[in-house]
């Protein structure tokens, strides 16, 4: 007899050894049809696997996030099977699940998206056949014999420890895989191949270049359609396309992965930094600046030379090795150590917007989202153990204010001590308790990631959510027990004893370049008035009114507005349309009535037009809007 305990605490007994499917059917046939896999005592396995002893069982259905991930793994197998049918000389490597889909790396002749319909047609046949997907385990020798003609699979098997190795089969197709998988191919109801790119075997440029085919899959066509519509909207918001159209930034072959910011981009950059500095001054931070290049011995002392060397750019000056900084922290340690400190000075909050360089592979560079040169809004907070909770809480509240100005929500994750770490149990307990207490006091729900902290301390990650619901990890709060030790940082306590300070690394925006790109896509290029690179454009309706329009533009500029004049010999409608496409928040048209009255006609991006608006009312309203950094585009209300 086998006793099964379900998540709600109810129990079921089976005289014979049941499978997960048997458990589901004992509840209802509808549930059995929706079941994808099961979790037994915390391990996710196939639904058809026998449950040979008493166990706690959770059934995973098509409504569960884990179910979608399992199905996408099976979809990767369906795609690989289809590719082998279309191209029998193809050699398979790996096919993992990724966010929003899956991919498979395949050694085959180069293909393009024009080849996708043929592969998808074969996938549809495989799905329609509802082929059972079954697991079998073999010895390592049997696995090597099975894949004797497939070098990639042989290499993977040789890397595995001796013991049982699992295969998954669906009719003529078999793949080396840990699983689990859906019961049959019919679960892959809605899918689409998305793109193809090159990828080196095991990310090694000296090895074979493969074809990486990306796809996505859902349990129904409605969800797939919604995702494809989301991608279309995301494509419209692409920060590279908008940045080029609005002349914000560009990239050049002479400096791969290193953005060039244009005048309009620098306007936004400086506005963002002005706001950042204003908030940090208010929160009690001082601003520092450290050199971009420092001697090798510093990076050896910090541990970066040993652990991060391959990502660092180096140089030699006067026969001494230097490295361009990949992060600001070691320079911040030297600043702290420049003079003795008393407990009375703590907490000491030192912020730096530092330019750092990291050598990223060319294949992963992606606009402003992944670059080789970027600015980090680092801060290092030095404090006593009893100040941890208050300082963490202060960082959380500062971050909330900064994100809120841009209309960005966020969620929190707490990551605790990993298996490999430095420091004593007591140090970790103090640090983790401080983070947890601050989160509890903050009052917002957070996700706990056990064992996912940095080797030198626990951390809180802040994931922002943009207008499309996408999440981006930008802010982080890390307690560090390594660098204060490595650099022998101290302060003198009340009893005149030297103590080691507790140190926080934290960023709010993270990479400013990346955050800039996120803002472009979040606002779709339609920025709040305070952040817009051009806030107003003045359009005379004919050449005769151009001189008067120029005086209006000058008055706006004197009042602090970033205003332009468009006096081209084009129709007014065309100039209005171009200003709207450029997302200029305020469009002022100047005709004979406006000149005679001295009033303004103003069109805003929310589609409203106000005629006969007094200049003082206009300027006061806009000034208040900018001063308060309002998000809404509605300026004037009746």
- At 334, list the tokens: 């030297």
Q: Which residues pair with 210 in a beta bridge?
A: 199
Which residue among the candidates 181, 370, 505, 603 is catalytic per the annotation? 505
Contact 136, 169 (CB under 8 A): yes
**Helices 263-282 + 512-523 axis angle, to 10:** 110
Residues 481 and 426: their CA atoms lie apart, in Å, by 12
Residues 6+ apart with CB under 8 A from 620: none
Which residue among the candidates 105, 115, 377, 378 is catalytic per the annotation? 378
Which residue among the candidates 192, 280, 358, 417 is catalytic per the annotation? 358
Q: How far is CA 66 from CA 59, 73, 439, in A?
A: 11, 11, 27
Give yes or no: 341 in active site: no
**Main-chain dihedrals φ then ψ at residue 345, nearest 5 degrees:** -80, -15
DSSP 500: P
Residues 458 and 433: their CA atoms lie apart, in Å, by 10
Residue in 3, 88, 94 with CA at minimum distance from that of residue 40: 3
Give the three-class secondary structure for 318.
Answer: coil
Give yes or no: 241 in active site: no
Q: Within a 10 A sphere around the Cβ of 504, how many other Cβ atoms?
A: 27
Give yes or no: 376 in active site: yes
- At 575, list the tokens: 């100039």
Which residue among the candidates 325, 329, 357, 583 is catalytic per the annotation? 329
Which residue among the candidates 73, 459, 522, 575 is catalytic per the annotation? 459
Which residue among the candidates 170, 211, 376, 478 is catalytic per the annotation? 376
Residues 3 and 14: their CA atoms lie apart, in Å, by 7
Give yes or no: 474 in active site: no
Give yes or no: 236 in active site: no
Alpha helix ranges (H) inside 283-412: 296-302, 304-307, 329-337, 388-405
Residue in 20, 54, 57, 19 with CA at minimum distance from that of residue 35: 20
Contact 58, 35 (CB under 8 A): no
Q: Which residues pair with 498 in a beta bridge?
A: 492
Residues 285 and 277: their CA atoms lie apart, in Å, by 9
Give yes or no: 459 in active site: yes
Burial state string for 97-121 with b = 16 or more CB within 10 A and e = fewer than 16: beeebbbbbbbbeebeeebbeebee
Q: What is the 3-state secondary structure (H, E, C) of 432-479?
A: HHHHHHHHHHHCCCEEEECCCCECCECEEEEEEECCCCCEEEEEEEEE
**Helices 263-282 + 388-405 axis angle, to 10:** 140
Residues 6+ apart with CB under 8 A from 289: 352, 354
DSSP string, 273-310: HHHHHHHHHHTT-EE----SEEEHHHHHHHTHHHHSGG
Give yes or no: 543 in active site: no
For Cα atoms 430, 431, 436, give the angle at the middle one, nearest 5 degrees: 100
Kindly report each contact of residues 150-158 with a partner whose C-beta sits within 8 Å and lies 24 or more positions away, as own/partner: 150/91, 150/92, 151/91, 152/91, 152/92, 152/93, 152/107, 152/201, 153/92, 153/93, 156/93, 156/94
Contact 214, 194 (CB under 8 A): yes
Which residue among the candidates 239, 372, 380, 522 is catalytic per the annotation? 380
Residues labelled catalytic: 329, 358, 376, 378, 380, 459, 505
């Amino acid at each position: 007899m086998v006793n099964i305990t379900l998540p709600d605490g109810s129990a079921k007994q089976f005289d014979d050894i049941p499978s997960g499917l048997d458990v589901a059917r004992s509840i209802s046939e509808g549930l059995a049809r929706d079941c994808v896999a099961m979790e037994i005592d915390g391990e996710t396995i196939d639904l058809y696997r026998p449950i040979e002893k008493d166990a706690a069982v959770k059934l995973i259905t098509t409504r569960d996030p884990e179910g979608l991930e399992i199905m996408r793994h099976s979809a990767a197998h369906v795609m690989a099977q289809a590719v082998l049918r279309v191209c029998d000389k193809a050699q398979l490597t790996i096919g993992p699940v990724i966010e929003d889909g899956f991919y498979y790396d395949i050694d085959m002749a180069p293909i393009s998206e024009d080849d996708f319909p043929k592969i998808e047609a074969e996938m549809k046949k495989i799905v329609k056949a509802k082929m059972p997907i079954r697991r079998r385990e073999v010895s390592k020798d049997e696995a090597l014999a099975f894949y004797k003609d497939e070098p990639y699979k042989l290499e993977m098997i040789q890397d595995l420890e001796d013991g049982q190795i699992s295969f998954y089969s669906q009719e003529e197709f078999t793949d080396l895989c840990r699983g689990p998988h859906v019961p049959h191919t019919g679960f892959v109801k809605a899918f689409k191949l998305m793109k193809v790119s090159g990828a080196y075997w095991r990310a090694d440029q000296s090895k074979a270049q493969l074809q990486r085919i990306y796809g996505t899959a859902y349990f129904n066509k409605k969800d797939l359609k919604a995702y494809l519509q989301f991608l279309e909207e995301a494509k419209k918001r692409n920060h590279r396309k908008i940045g080029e159209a609005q002349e914000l930034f560009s990239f050049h072959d002479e400096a791969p992965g290193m953005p060039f910011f244009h005048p309009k981009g620098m306007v936004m950059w400086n506005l963002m930094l002005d706001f950042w500095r204003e908030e940090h001054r208010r929160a009690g931070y001082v601003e520092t600046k450290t050199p971009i290049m420092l001697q090798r011995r510093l990076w050896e002392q910090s541990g970066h030379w040993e652990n991060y060397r391959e990502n660092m750019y180096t140089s030699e000056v006067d026969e001494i090795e230097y490295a361009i900084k990949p992060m600001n922290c070691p320079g911040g340690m030297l600043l702290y150590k420049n003079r003795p400190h008393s407990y009375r000075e703590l907490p000491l909050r030192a912020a730096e917007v530092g330019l750092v360089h990291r050598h990223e592979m060319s294949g992963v560079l992606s606009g402003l989202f992944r670059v080789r040169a970027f600015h980090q809004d680092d801060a290092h907070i030095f404090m006593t153990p009893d100040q941890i909770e208050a300082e963490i809480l202060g960082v959380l509240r500062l971050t909330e204010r900064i994100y809120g100005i841009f209309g960005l929500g966020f969620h929190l994750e707490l990551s605790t001590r990993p298996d490999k770490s430095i420091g004593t149990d007591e140090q970790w307990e103090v640090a983790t308790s401080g983070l947890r207490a601050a989160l509890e006091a903050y009052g917002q729900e957070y996700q706990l990631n056990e064992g996912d902290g940095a080797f030198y301390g626990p951390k809180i990650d802040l994931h922002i959510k943009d207008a499309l619901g996408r999440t981006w990890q930008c802010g982080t709060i890390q307690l560090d027990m390594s660098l204060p030790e490595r650099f022998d940082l101290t302060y003198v306590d009340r009893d005149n004893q030297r103590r080691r300070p507790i140190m926080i690394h934290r960023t709010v925006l993270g990479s400013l370049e990346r955050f800039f790109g996120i803002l472009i896509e979040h606002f779709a290029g339609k920025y709040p008035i305070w952040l817009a690179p051009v806030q107003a454009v003045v359009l005379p309706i004919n050449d005769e009114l151009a001189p008067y329009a120029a005086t209006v533009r000058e008055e706006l500029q004197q009042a602090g507005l970033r205003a332009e004049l468009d006096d081209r010999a084009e129709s007014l409608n065309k100039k209005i349309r171009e200003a709207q496409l450029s997302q200029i928040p305020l469009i002022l048209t100047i005709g004979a009535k406006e000149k005679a009255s001295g009033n303004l006609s103003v069109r805003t991006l929310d589609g409203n037009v106000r005629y006969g608006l007094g200049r003082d009312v206009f300027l006061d309203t806009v000034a208040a809007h900018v001063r308060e950094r309002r998000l809404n585009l509605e300026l004037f209300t009746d």
